[in-house]
Amino acid sequence: MPEMILLETEEKMEKTVQSMLKDFSKIRTGRASANILDSITVEYYGSPSPVRQISNVSTPEANQLLIKPYDPSTLKLIERAISASDLGITPINDGVTIRLIFPKLTEERRRELVKGLGKITEGAKVACRNIRRDGNDAIKKLKLPEDDEKGYIEDIQKLTDKYIEKIEKETETKEKELMEI
Q: Could you report the per-residue pLDDT of 99-129, keeping only the tens digit for each?
A: 998 888 788 888 888 888 999 999 999 999 9
**Structural domain count, the chain:** 2
- Domain termination residue (choose one: 101, 124, 152): 101
Query: CATH number for the domain including 111?
Result: 1.10.132.20
End-of-domain residue from the set 101, 117, 139: 101
DSSP for 142-159 reads T---HHHHHHHHHHHHHH
Are 78 and 14 within one domain? no
| CATH number for 72 | 3.30.1360.40
Statement: the pTM of the whole predicted model exceeds 0.75? no
Give yes or no: residues 89 and 110 share one domain.
no
First CA to last CA distance, the chain:
51
The parent domain of residue 166 ranges over 2-26+106-179
Name the pairing type of β-strands 47-50 and 41-44: antiparallel
Average pLDDT over residues 19-37: 81
Residue ranges of E strands in the chain: 41-44, 47-50, 55-61, 64-69, 92-93, 98-101
